[in-house]
Chains A and B, each alone.
Chain A
């Protein structure tokens, strides 16, 4: 059953490519990186033992080109492919093609990706195996009575495209008079984004929190969990801060939610790393979806458990089975991940671009940086605008927050606007400190995204620093014998 991996192709880019290469090299596995010309010279391309160039009309198109990437793996003699996250990581056809070509896909089976990728089937599977799901109506089950049944569920409702993900096309309906209109719009958005207008409607949890459980399976029905992560700090349905343990779960709820995730994965005979996502509110939790890949936020789990999740993925993919039993998993302290984005919080979190004239992440005890950027690189609109993940580990939540705020103040990025100050304001807010942040919190508190006015002494410090940074101002001042020489202007 065991089948060692000796040469691994990484079908990704940026920080996750760096992350996978680092572990592979530590394990003595040769690495091949596929690389679009826009990424030549990136940290991952420098670290990889071998590079195969990808052709593509755009960078994103290149990393989505399954046939080209598989051909690259075969040509390079790789025996396994790690898909990272995003791109082809949850593409069942790609996983299937990789297996059929006799290579190892580092992830679950194509059938599992397929099942969990269809929100409606995944939900039905969860419900069948006793995992709590929100009261809901699925259009496929009874299209004729769909709207009437949705109305009968009562407000508030969440309308989602069946094929959806990433929050696209999701609509909250509090006023049932608008239900028809919202359904029509969600259907049109679903058709536009996913080519599939089918919908489902479920009870919306007010002030919901996003809690997910990291699981690993061996594909033989053995599954363990590595605890939960809370990812309730979101803007536009996308996570920006994740932490473990969740500040809101009691030991009893934590045990129940982790067990529900394990039950689901075990029933599926799940293989490799997976994350079961739940919506939590008012002491109840409902299954949301299962992500069949490594998550962006996996480092917080690594920090508290001391485990290398990429190593686990590679060992399981090589047929070694689960590296630990459930009782051997220990969690130590508190970890928080903050996603540094090139974006403008005060302008609706719109992505920004620019040269990284200075890119100087903080260092220190309990501070980890996962990034695919270096100083001198240019941030463009070609790829995702995440610049780095700042991961903090401390003995308890309060000191982790303090350490995070300090590290954010020390993180210097010049040349491109980022969300660093916003993350500092959010992390340092009394709501975050007291663990009261829900998924709608950032949208409901737009003041956090506004840059504070710079006045008085602080203004003089900024202007003074700017003047001293400009050679012309200092040179002019040094040429002036007296202040009076400059009075009265220079033009008749």
Chain B
């Protein structure tokens, strides 16, 4: 899944993949090797492409505050679900599948309801984070394929939309 990180108004697609002994960061058309050398609460000792990087951080909701290399940075985390829903709004995509394993916290609409792009459809909890899945385009809810409280695996069909007739 591609998460978004907003830095100074530019949203960067970011993606971490596992590599032996660390992670590979895919972002901004580049790649970097990240090795975690140590961490305590609010502190990370990293090596990024072999260069040491001491990071102080604090997270408040979707806001990320960082200090590294003698400077402060303020970023905003964009969840993958919300991003896909909005980014693909022009496409006639029919259904949303679970981006990761989780639990349905709340369902906001019933089958047959008309929704506009951006309307909340359901709230899921995954990785200790609540995420609202929103209508990615105008349409009618064909079906909500999961019930409140249900757990689901990655790729489970969550909700489908049809064109407004």
Chain A residues in the interface with B (C-beta under 8 A): 355, 357-358, 360, 408-410, 412-415, 417-418, 420-421, 424, 451, 454, 456-478, 480, 483, 486, 489-492
- Inter-chain contacts of B5 with A (CB < 8 A): 463, 466-467
- Inter-chain contacts of A472 with B (CB < 8 A): 3, 126-129
User: In the docked arrangement, what's the CA distance between A460 and B48, Å?
Assistant: 8
User: Does the CB pair A491–B84 fall under 8 Å?
Assistant: yes
- Inter-chain contacts of A477 with B (CB < 8 A): 16-18, 23
Q: A414-B67, A421-B72 are in contact. Are A357 and B55 (CB under 8 A)?
A: no
User: Does the CB pair B17–A483 fall under 8 Å?
Assistant: yes
Instruction: Return the chain B residue nearest A346 by Cβ.
Output: B8
- Inter-chain contacts of A456 with B (CB < 8 A): 30
User: Does the CB pair B53–A465 fall under 8 Å?
Assistant: yes
**Does B162 touch A at the CB level, under 8 Å?**
no
Q: A420-B72, A459-B7, A470-B64 are in contact. List 18 more A-B contacts (CB 8 A).
A: A412-B67, A424-B70, A460-B28, A461-B51, A461-B68, A462-B68, A462-B75, A465-B57, A466-B77, A467-B14, A467-B23, A468-B34, A472-B126, A472-B127, A472-B128, A477-B17, A491-B84, A492-B93
- Inter-chain contacts of B100 with A (CB < 8 A): 476
Q: A463-B14, A476-B16 are in contact. Are A469 and B93 (CB under 8 A)?
A: no
User: Does the CB pair B95–A491 fall under 8 Å?
Assistant: yes
Cβ-Cβ contact count across A and B, 8 Å cutoff: 166
User: Does the CB pair B64–A469 fall under 8 Å?
Assistant: yes
Instruction: Return the chain A residue nearest B68 by Cβ.
Output: A465
Instruction: Return the chain A residue nearest B25 by Cβ.
Output: A464
Q: List 20 A-B contacts (CB under 8 A).
A: A355-B60, A357-B58, A358-B42, A414-B67, A415-B65, A417-B74, A458-B69, A460-B27, A460-B32, A461-B69, A463-B25, A465-B44, A466-B66, A467-B25, A469-B57, A470-B3, A471-B128, A490-B98, A492-B94, A492-B95
**Does B106 touch A at the CB level, under 8 Å?**
no
**Does B96 touch A at the CB level, under 8 Å?**
yes
User: In the docked arrangement, what's the CA distance between A462 and B32, Å?
Assistant: 11
- Inter-chain contacts of B69 with A (CB < 8 A): 458, 461
User: In the docked arrangement, what's the CA distance between A357 and B34, Å?
Assistant: 26
User: Does the CB pair A464–B32 fall under 8 Å?
Assistant: yes
> Which secondary structure dominates chain B's binding surface?
strand
User: Does the CB pair B58–A490 fall under 8 Å?
Assistant: no
- Inter-chain contacts of A408 with B (CB < 8 A): 70
User: Does the CB pair B1–A486 fall under 8 Å?
Assistant: yes
Give the distance to chain B from A145, nearest Cβ to Cβ, in Å.
55
User: Does the CB pair B25–A460 fall under 8 Å?
Assistant: yes
- Inter-chain contacts of B53 with A (CB < 8 A): 461, 464-465
User: Does the CB pair A415–B16 fall under 8 Å?
Assistant: no
Q: Mark B36-63, 1 if CB is under 8 A from A, else 0.
A: 1000001010101101010111111000
User: Does the CB pair B72–A461 fall under 8 Å?
Assistant: no
> Which secondary structure dominates chain A's binding surface?
helix
Give the distance to chain B from A172, nearest Cβ to Cβ, in Å.
34
User: In the docked arrangement, what's the CA distance between A480 and B154, Å?
Assistant: 11
Complex partner residue of B66 from A417, A469, A471, CB under 8 angstroms: A469
Give the distance to chain B from A416, nearest Cβ to Cβ, in Å.
9
Most-contacted residue by chain A among B15, B65, B126 (CB, 10 A): B65
- Inter-chain contacts of B74 with A (CB < 8 A): 417
- Inter-chain contacts of A424 with B (CB < 8 A): 70
Q: Mark B98-124, 1 if CB is under 8 A from A, else 0.
A: 111000000000000000000000000
User: Does the CB pair A468–B44 fall under 8 Å?
Assistant: yes
Give the distance to chain A from B24, nearest Cβ to Cβ, in Å.
8
- Inter-chain contacts of A474 with B (CB < 8 A): 16, 23
Q: Mark B60-92, 1 if CB is under 8 A from A, else 0.
A: 100011111111111101001000100010000
User: In the docked arrangement, what's the CA distance between A408 and B127, Å?
Assistant: 36
- Inter-chain contacts of A418 with B (CB < 8 A): 72
User: In the docked arrangement, what's the CA distance between A420 and B56, Å?
Assistant: 16
Question: Which 10 residue pairs of A and B lie closest in terms of their CB atoms, listed nearest first?
Answer: A409-B70, A357-B58, A414-B65, A477-B16, A414-B58, A469-B57, A472-B127, A465-B55, A460-B32, A412-B67
User: Does the CB pair B42–A468 fall under 8 Å?
Assistant: no
- Inter-chain contacts of A420 with B (CB < 8 A): 72
- Inter-chain contacts of A473 with B (CB < 8 A): 3, 14, 16
- Inter-chain contacts of A464 with B (CB < 8 A): 25, 27, 32, 34, 46, 48, 53
- Inter-chain contacts of B68 with A (CB < 8 A): 461-462, 465
Most-contacted residue by chain B among A456, A465, A468 (CB, 10 A): A465
User: In the docked arrangement, what's the CA distance between A471 and B97, Å?
Assistant: 22
User: Does the CB pair A467–B72 fall under 8 Å?
Assistant: no
User: In the docked arrangement, what's the CA distance between A408 and B67, Å?
Assistant: 12
User: In the docked arrangement, what's the CA distance between A255 and B78, Å?
Assistant: 61
User: In the docked arrangement, what's the CA distance between A422 and B56, Å?
Assistant: 20
**Does B155 touch A at the CB level, under 8 Å?**
yes
User: In the docked arrangement, what's the CA distance between A417 and B72, Å?
Assistant: 8
Give the distance to chain B from A360, nearest Cβ to Cβ, in Å.
7
User: In the docked arrangement, what's the CA distance between A360 and B162, Å?
Assistant: 54
User: Does the CB pair A465–B95 fall under 8 Å?
Assistant: no
- Inter-chain contacts of A410 with B (CB < 8 A): 70
User: In the docked arrangement, what's the CA distance between A457 and B44, Å?
Assistant: 18
User: In the docked arrangement, what's the CA distance between A465 and B65, Å?
Assistant: 10
- Inter-chain contacts of B128 with A (CB < 8 A): 471-472
User: Does the CB pair B27–A463 fall under 8 Å?
Assistant: yes
Instruction: Return the chain B residue nearest A481 by Cβ.
Output: B18
- Inter-chain contacts of A469 with B (CB < 8 A): 44, 55, 57, 59, 64, 66
User: In the docked arrangement, what's the CA distance between A470 and B59, Å?
Assistant: 8
Complex partner residue of B60 from A415, A463, A468, CB under 8 angstroms: A415
- Inter-chain contacts of B49 with A (CB < 8 A): 457, 460
User: Does the CB pair A459–B28 fall under 8 Å?
Assistant: yes
User: Does the CB pair A476–B127 fall under 8 Å?
Assistant: yes
Q: A421-B71, A464-B53 are in contact. Are A490 and B64 (CB under 8 A)?
A: no
Give the distance to chain A from B50, nearest Cβ to Cβ, in Å.
11
